[in-house]
A and B are shown apart, each in its own frame.
Chain A
């Protein structure tokens, strides 16, 4: 007893405590956290900061305050671009909002037949680069398009083309969120509405819409951001209709005016960040609408409603298939519109471009590396951030950095990478235009979604797993491999597939970062289209689509195989 009371010693200082609490687990954890912090510093923070710096410098790198911005806002052409960007963003958002909500409603709340088929067709555009709908629309409604008359004399080049192209490309993104939002609905609310003799239309506005409210807001924000930040569609079909994203491209690639490119980027970043912040706010509110006590809603057959749903979904699905089908058909047409005989001529890429098939294989390499390397780093990163013990401040900092990439449009990120890595004074300059930098850039671009997926999976694990492991003397790395990894296998495969497909289809960031030997397929689509080789551009876009679809099929097969081995415990 005496000794214990005399032991009221001075509390050990920070260093002593650190050495006392040192163990193999904490060393490993600390090491990974430090590496991750350094990587994120170099590949997320530094490029963004350099871009901000460039926007307040003149061409020689002298600080000139906000005069670049003043110059920008004095140019009527620039102001026009802003107005155009907002216009096309709002129109597309409204259209996609209505169409995708109705489509999702039909998929989740009706008893129409062929739901799986409609689900697949509705999601298909996600496998295509955004350039594909643009090229396809040119074949359909362009100057020599087969259905030109349908537009009644209006030109597809400009706001109409951009809107339809973006609507096609953003539709599956919207559909994904809305089907989730509408699927998790509490049947008891509908029973209560029926008991209260509420008219079905009133029920829709009283129950259905409020329950999906946050999903709808999220969708609208996402679609708007995607439209405003995409550069592929307006580049191909925009004609003289300038938007911010194409401005950046023209300023940087056309005029080598980096300062103005940086200013435009900052302007493009503003709505993206704003939208992102609203979305985060909304997401936080969304939780707990559907809890374990809720009863899932199952629709009952209703002839009129199901008929209308079937008709509507068929129309949309046909439109999607028409756009995809047109691109595929056009890629086989020998010489549009004069020689409509089918051949593989357009696939003979070495005929039309010095690169030949190289871009396609570059893209495969890029996508494979992004999938492998990205999945490993994203999952380990999410694990140490979520399940680490101690190092609280670093983990919080990393958690904040991981959400930055989502708010940064790809083209802005790409520009930041030029500024930072294409600087001869930067020791990392050697990375510029290499495949390694393309891989890193693409991983960063899609980091946040992968990170969120990993976090969601990790949060489903009991929080005490690590405490238990420590108490039974199981090293943390071992519990990671024995417990965490197998349980999260489905999420890990989802992340890998997501990264692979997006690395194949992305145009925005990589357009600034490729070299002649690393040019990806999506960029070559753009170049061939620019050079008037629309047929070959369509062919390459189709190659990307087919490869992405194949990757998805392989993902599904591999997932069912691996799930059988790792998820057996889920069966009751």
Chain B
């Protein structure tokens, strides 16, 4: 695969604050990449450095083999869509799309053809003479997308394009963008803080935190094999169960001894066993972890149960998502004592975070 965008050791400083700390990343031709992270993690700064809107402090960006690190945005090849739509408010929908085409030297007739083509694609053929304020948010964002794509740029940058939209419009437009991107094969970077969006849309996700990249991988990899505690906490739900290695074969959780999940663990190690709520099951086996069900929350297709480890009253609740059918067959009830099990394949091991457990303890007491 061709590397289209090559970012090497990129650093961006605002005064004393380091917004991007030595970022290196390769993006392939035609890929859909999501920059995912909490606000202030540097994802937007990275996007703006790629666009040239905020120039990097050091490092290099190569786009299509050309060094663009310090070029102003007008000398780069990209289309951009912002969260706020940023349509030209005094131009009609058609003019919004065509104004860039005229600058590219397209004749009036050509421009009209291209505008009509794009209006057809985004399903707004009737809206050509309307002003942006006469359109809904979702329609405006479609126009913004068409405006960015009509010039056939090599790179499409999306800065939280769906965040301002209602849930329904959002999921609909999400699919549209993805379909269009596949059809055009345009290399695309989308910044988002919505993990669901990133998981659903991206070919690869770049998880960022505090100006560094925590993990790069396919949505499946990010979800199933989080590379760091931050990724495990940030993407999806995760239980962190305090554990310790008591012998060469066994670990201890609360008062139960269980087989050691990973060879590399040494006797005396303190660690957190990370398991997703959907990867824990109720079981009848006497070997498994005893818990008491403390709360059950109906979620439609599943029930979220909060379970208290027996013998460890201060530990945070373990969350378990049980499919409705299983709830029925097991006859689960609030307050019952049950046993739970997890599979080693879908559990992860992270070093114990000491101050973290202290805070969760206090919150557990309050509950």
Q: Which chain A residues have a beta carbon within 8 Å of chain B's beta carbons?
A: 1, 4-5, 7-9, 11-12, 16-17, 20-23, 25-26, 389, 461-465, 467-468, 470-475, 478, 482-483, 486-487, 566-572
Contacts and interface: CB of A to CB of B under 8 A. Distances in A.
A471 B78 contact: yes
A472 B131 contact: no
A474 B80 contact: no
Nearest to A10: B58
Given A9-B60, A474-B103, A566 B78 contact: no
B291 interface: no
B100 to A, nearest CB: 3
A482 B224 CA distance: 51
Contacts of B88: 465, 468, 482-483
B72 A470 contact: yes
14 contacts: A7-B8, A8-B9, A8-B60, A11-B58, A389-B53, A462-B87, A464-B86, A467-B86, A470-B52, A471-B73, A471-B76, A472-B100, A473-B104, A571-B133
B16 to A, nearest CB: 16
A487 B89 contact: yes
B90 A487 contact: yes
Interface residues of B, number: 47
Given A7-B62, A9-B60, A464-B82, A21 B26 contact: no
A467 B80 contact: yes
A320 B262 CA distance: 90
A39 to B, nearest CB: 26
B148 interface: yes
A483 B3 CA distance: 37
Sort A-B residue pairs by CB-CB distance and give the 8 closest, nearest first. A472-B100, A470-B73, A464-B86, A569-B131, A11-B58, A20-B70, A462-B86, A470-B74
A474 B147 CA distance: 12
Contacts of A473: 74, 100, 103-104, 151
Contact of A472 (B60, B62, B151): B151
A17 B51 CA distance: 16
B164 interface: no
Given A471-B148, A472-B79, A4 B6 contact: yes
A478 B88 CA distance: 13
A468 B91 CA distance: 14
A384 B356 CA distance: 49
B75 interface: yes
Contacts of B219: none
Contacts of B89: 461-462, 487, 569
B281 interface: no
Interface of B: 3, 6, 8-9, 26, 51-53, 55, 57-60, 62, 67, 69-76, 78-80, 82, 84-91, 99-100, 103-104, 131-134, 147-148, 151, 153
Contact of B73 (A9, A467, A486, A487): A467
A1 B26 contact: yes
A486 B78 contact: no
A471 B72 contact: no
Contacts of B104: 473
Given A467-B51, A473-B151, A4 B72 contact: no
A124 B100 CA distance: 47
Contacts of B72: 21-23, 25-26, 389, 470
Nearest to B95: A482
Nearest to B58: A11
Nearest to A25: B74
Contacts of B91: 482-483, 569
A570 B131 CA distance: 8
Given A1-B3, A21-B55, A467-B86, 18 more contacts: A8-B9, A17-B55, A21-B70, A23-B72, A462-B85, A462-B86, A464-B82, A464-B84, A468-B82, A470-B52, A471-B78, A471-B79, A471-B148, A472-B79, A473-B74, A473-B104, A478-B103, A482-B99
